[in-house]
Chain A
Amino acid sequence: MLKTLGAAIGAALIVGAETQAFAAGAISGAGATFPAPVYNKWAEAYKAQTQTTLNYQAIGSGGGIKQIEANTVDFGATDKPLNLQDQQTNGLVMFPTVVGGIVPVMNLPGFKPGQIKLTGPQLADIYRGAIKKWDDPLLAKTNPGVKLPNLPITVVHRSDGSGTTFLFTSFLSLQAEHWKSEVGANDSVQWPVGLGGKGNDGVAAFVKQTPGAIGYVEYIFAAQNSMTYALMQDKAGQFIAPTAASFKAAAANAKWTTAPGFYLLLLDQPGANAWPITGATFILMHAKQADAAKGEEVLKFFDWAYKNGDADADKLFYVPLPANVKDMIRKSWSKIVGPDGKPVYK
């Protein structure tokens, strides 16, 4: 009996060792759910070309940060960027991959997408419960000639901790002093009013089912569900629509050169047609790689994705980074070194 048990354990060990050896041509990552579709799409195409497998677990940005700090994955992914100081204390290097936009969506019977114009401070007032009805004089001011309905506003937010909420509340903090001091920005906050839906689809469902509701979702959800979105006021004072072009404009005008450690929220960027609630999603890697070959594998994958992945990103409603930013990122990879102190990416 004991012998059989021993044999079984022995066999299990051998099998384990074999899977370990087989996994040598594989890289692993974990983190944000927002970019997971495009990372998986890239991984599929990359595997077909190079035989290298990418195993990406979409466990959420917070989980991604924890996993890379614990060194259980080759890279972490997060929608909530770490500032340079946090990166350095944990010995991490961060760089962006793709850009996405967040869109306020509404349920106003009879209204078409883009018929309502909103400013950042108005959005903050709605979300803190100061503007309670759609025919509020404050809203009428930016919507001359539009007959706003006498409907109560139902505020819908994300119930789960999310990089989307972080970006959205960061935008509200930037636009309104009261939001900054009373609520603040985080991946989950104490919402003054409203109800919470789980995930983008939960928010979209509540908005669709509640006349007078307003919510915020990633662009892909607004586009695929053809929801009524609002035009937002950009930095120049123009009211613009959420489109791939306006997210691209926000990413192109961003001052990546002066952002230490690529810590940058693409909120309220200057320049024509730059969507004000835009953000990048990021990759975290250890600055000092224990295994230089593994570190190189990871960077090779992202280099490949920057070169060949733009079409896939477009198809999935993400916005690829501008070429000059990609060059800056490749240069920044010199900070990622192997045990010998030499950069792993050549």
Chain B
Amino acid sequence: MSDAALPSAGPPARRAKPRGSLIGQVFEGLCFGAATLLLASLGGIIVSLLIGGWPAISKFGIGFLFSSTWNPVTDVYGAAGPIVGTLITAALALIMALPIAGGVAFFLTELCPAPLRRPIGTAVELLAGIPSIVYGMWGLFVFAPLFARWIQLPLMAAAKPGSILEALTTGIPNGSGILPASIILAIMILPFMAATLRELLLTVPAAVRESAYGLGATTAEVVLSVTLPYVRQGAIGAVMLGLGRALGETMAVTFIIGNSHAFPKSLFDSGSTIASTIANEFTEATSPIHTAALISLGLVLFLITFVVLGLARLMLRQQGAKL
């Protein structure tokens, strides 16, 4: 009977190879190919950014990173304004979005009545699916006027001459600039972070949580001393995912940040980010050095993202050592 399971005909040499060997080989090959393709395209992108940006890199040197002149007429370019704008908006967005995302995730996993969990969870995921141009248009046409009227003008009116608040709130009172762009970014990265955090919190074994409750811990205590430490590593990944999106977000920011290449001097001042500058100027960049400068900006963004991810890895490793 046992013979029936084997190929009925064929020399013993064939028999050594199990029936699924071809499928297995193809599967391995495809997986290897997928991984190689990913690495190859990553390398390809770096190389093509380097080649494309080389005219600007060789012309401006390291000064490209520190000069805030961006003059397409004289073909002199410096990336300091967009770099600073990118870092500030992404950092502000993260600071605003992280507590809210955490709150949403904890509410959904710990406090929310069971029948509401699904609808709210789905709503959060739907928010993540809205195209960024929609956020941009909404930001410009709906959010900016409301922000100017209810937040910006009262703040500007409340600022005493010479105070820090005044320095932070100078600008054009129309709801555009660094802070409004950061708020839009925060709204955009919020659903990503909330959804990921929720998934993470769901991975905490029920036994662990319930034993904590069994010991008489309050919800806050369970969250802070049991579930949060349990998912810490993954949580940093979720934060980095949000930060990555904030760093590279293009359209929504372009609409509302005011698009000035100079250093932003206050929260309501116009600024620019690397991605918004590229989106604004790439189609009409006719001089070779202008195109090269924009491609170099892309390379800088790539490096910033790389450094951010590297730092995240480092933090994870240190925490792993502590545990």
- Segment of B200-208, B211-219, B276-284 engaged in the interface with chain A: B276-284
B176 at the interface (CB under 8 A from A): yes
Interface presence of B197 (CB below 8 A): no
Q: Which of A1, A63, A80, A195 contacts B259 (CB 8 A)?
A: A195
Query: A65 contacts B259, CB within 8 Å?
Result: no
Q: With a CB–CB cut-off of 8 A, which chain B residues contact A185?
A: 73
The interface stretch among B35-43, B116-124, B140-148, B237-245 is B140-148
B155: Cβ under 8 A from any A Cβ: no
A198 touches B254 (CB 8 A): yes
> Closest CB-CB distance, A280 to chain B, in whole Å?
18
Interface size on A, residues (CB 8 A): 35
Say whether B198 faces chain A, with CB atoms less than 8 Å apart: no
Q: Given A65-B286, A196-B259, A202-B140: A188 and B280 within 8 A (CB)? A: yes
A189 in the interface, Cβ–Cβ < 8 Å? yes
Q: Which residues of A contact B74 (CB under 8 A)?
A: 184
Instruction: Please tell me if the beta carbons of A66 and B260 are within 8 angstroms of each other in the complex.
Output: no
Neighbouring B residues of A224 by C-beta, 8 Å: none
- Distance (Å) between the CB of A162 and the closest chain B CB? 6
Find the residue from A61, A188, A202 having the highest chain B CB count within 10 A.
A188
State the majority secondary structure of interface residues on B.
loop
A155 (CB) vs chain B CBs: closest residue: B172
Task: Kindly state whether residue A275 has any CB partner on chain B within 8 Å.
Answer: no
Q: Does B87 contact A (CB under 8 A)?
A: no
- In the complex, the answer to whether A187 meets B284 with C-beta atoms within 8 Å is yes
Contact with B along A158-197 (1 / 0, CB 8 A): 0111110000000000000000000111111111001111
Q: Does A250 contact B (CB under 8 A)?
A: no
Chain A interface secondary structure, helix, strand, loop or mixed?
loop
Cβ-defined contact, A186 with B72, below 8 A: yes
Contact, CB under 8 Å: B284 / A60: yes
Interface residues of A in 182-223 (CB under 8 A from B): 183-191, 194-198, 202, 205-206, 209-210, 213
Question: Within 8 Å CB of B176, what residues of A?
Answer: 195, 206
Give chain A residues whose Cβ lies under 8 Å from the Cβ of B272: 159
Residue B173 at the chain A interface, CB threshold 8 Å: yes
Cα distance, A152 to B148, chains bound together (Å):
16
Contacts of A213 in B (CB 8 A): 174
**Which of A159, A160, A210 is in CB contact (< 8 Å) with B173?**
A210
In the assembled complex, how far is the CB of residue A107 from the closest CB belonging to chain B, in whole angstroms?
Answer: 9
> Quick one: which of A103-128 are within 8 Å of B by CB?
none
What mask results when residues 164 to 206 of chain B are scored 1 for a CB within 8 Å of chain A, else 0? Answer: 0000000011111100000000000000000000000000000
Residue contact A188 to B174, C-beta cutoff 8 Å:
no
User: Could you list which residues of chain A lie within 8 angstroms of chain B, going by C-beta atoms?
Assistant: 1, 59-63, 65-66, 80, 154, 159-163, 183-191, 194-198, 202, 205-206, 209-210, 213
Q: Identify 14 new A-B residue pairs, CB closer than 8 A, beyond the known A163-B284, A187-B286, A205-B141.
A: A1-B26, A59-B283, A60-B283, A62-B285, A62-B286, A63-B284, A159-B259, A183-B73, A186-B72, A191-B260, A195-B258, A198-B254, A202-B140, A210-B174
11 pairs, A vs B, C-beta closer than 8 Å: A159-B254, A159-B272, A160-B283, A161-B283, A188-B281, A190-B72, A195-B270, A198-B280, A202-B140, A209-B148, A210-B174
